Amino acid sequence: MKYLTSEQVTQFDKDGYLVIKGFFNKNEISELEQKILDFAKKRPEDWTKGKEMAYYETIKNNERVLARIEKYVDYHEDFRKIAYSEKIMACMEELMGESCLLFKDKINFKRPSGGGFKPHQDMQARWDDFASYFMNVMITTDDSSIENGCLEVAPNHHKRRLIGKYDAPLQGKDLEGMNFIPCPTLKGDVIFFDCFTPHRSKPNLSNKPRSNIYLTYNRVSEGDHRLEYLARKRKELPPDNERTESIDFKDSPLHEIKYKDTRRN
């Protein structure tokens, strides 16, 4: 079954991103909302080592709050159903030209005062060690607005391929000619964007928390590298509950508020 029109596919090819309103209905999203709220209540020590990868940040009042969780699809069936749903997989195939595999999964959390992300291309995170091309879909689980730091994209730059340096935000001449467009979304809306599309987000200046699901896929022909990627990520940037004094890691250069390890203070 096709879920995209030829006009939408053409628009994606031109802009590097595509917003689809009401892609998932409220019932489909409501199944995930309570689990996301439960995740947000957890402390670093509440997670099981070797399973989900949870990352925290310190906000203005020195409160430690969840900023991101990865590798959750493996342990929660409701999220797995969404990640491998017919809707998502069919759209990925239409946009990428062949069947696809899940490469990574994350949920970004933004509490009030939670930090945004600097301009970047996802391929700058050295994803090209695993495949040559990836596609993302952002699933809106909380309404995203300009005030709470919605996704912003710079259209028509994805065909330039890799613009910036690895493991660094886009800056200086990298940003010349880019016009970042805010993409406010409501629950159930999705945004498809490719790994070369420059994007960013600003801090959450509202008084309410918000979260969104991000899923990333690669073509079947380039192989299944999910576990290989996650193993590297776990080693280079361990989740909070797996960090020790003997582990040498670097914080994310993209996040506006650095992941802070309180045991090092």
In this structure, are residues 197 and 153 in contact, taking their beta carbons and an 8 Å threshold? yes
User: What's the one-letter identity of residue 214?
Assistant: Y
CA gap 118, 132 in Å, rounded: 23
Q: What is the pLDDT of residue 211?
A: 94
Q: What is the pLDDT of residue 111?
A: 87
Q: Which residue ranges form the domains of the chain, and what is each CATH number?
A: 6-264 (2.60.120.620)
Strand pairing of 151-153 and 117-120? Answer: unpaired
Q: What is the pLDDT of residue 72?
A: 97
Give the list of residues 6+ apart from residue 21 with CB closer than 8 angstroms, or none. Answer: 185, 186, 188, 189
Strand partners, 217: 102, 135
User: What's the one-letter identity of residue 107?
Assistant: I
Q: What is the pLDDT of residue 258?
A: 47
CA gap 93, 217 in Å, rounded: 10
pTM reported for the whole predicted model: 0.92
In this structure, are residues 167 and 237 in contact, taking their beta carbons and an 8 Å threshold? no
CA gap 108, 91 in Å, rounded: 22
Q: What is the pLDDT of residue 31?
A: 83
CA gap 216, 76 in Å, rounded: 17
Cβ-in-10-Å burial (0-12, 13-18, 19+) of 172 comes to: exposed
Render each residue's pLDDT in the chain as its tens digit; 265 residues.
Answer: 899 999 999 999 999 999 999 999 988 998 899 999 999 999 999 999 999 999 998 877 777 889 999 999 999 999 999 999 999 999 999 999 999 999 999 999 998 888 889 999 999 999 999 999 999 999 999 999 999 999 999 999 999 999 999 999 999 999 999 999 999 999 999 999 999 999 999 999 999 999 999 999 999 999 999 999 999 999 999 999 998 865 554 556 566 554 343 333 3
221-226 contact pairs (CB < 8 A, 24+): 221/98, 222/130, 222/131, 222/132, 222/133, 223/101, 223/131, 224/101, 225/103, 225/130, 225/131, 226/101, 226/102, 226/103, 226/104
- How long a stretch of residues is the chain? 265
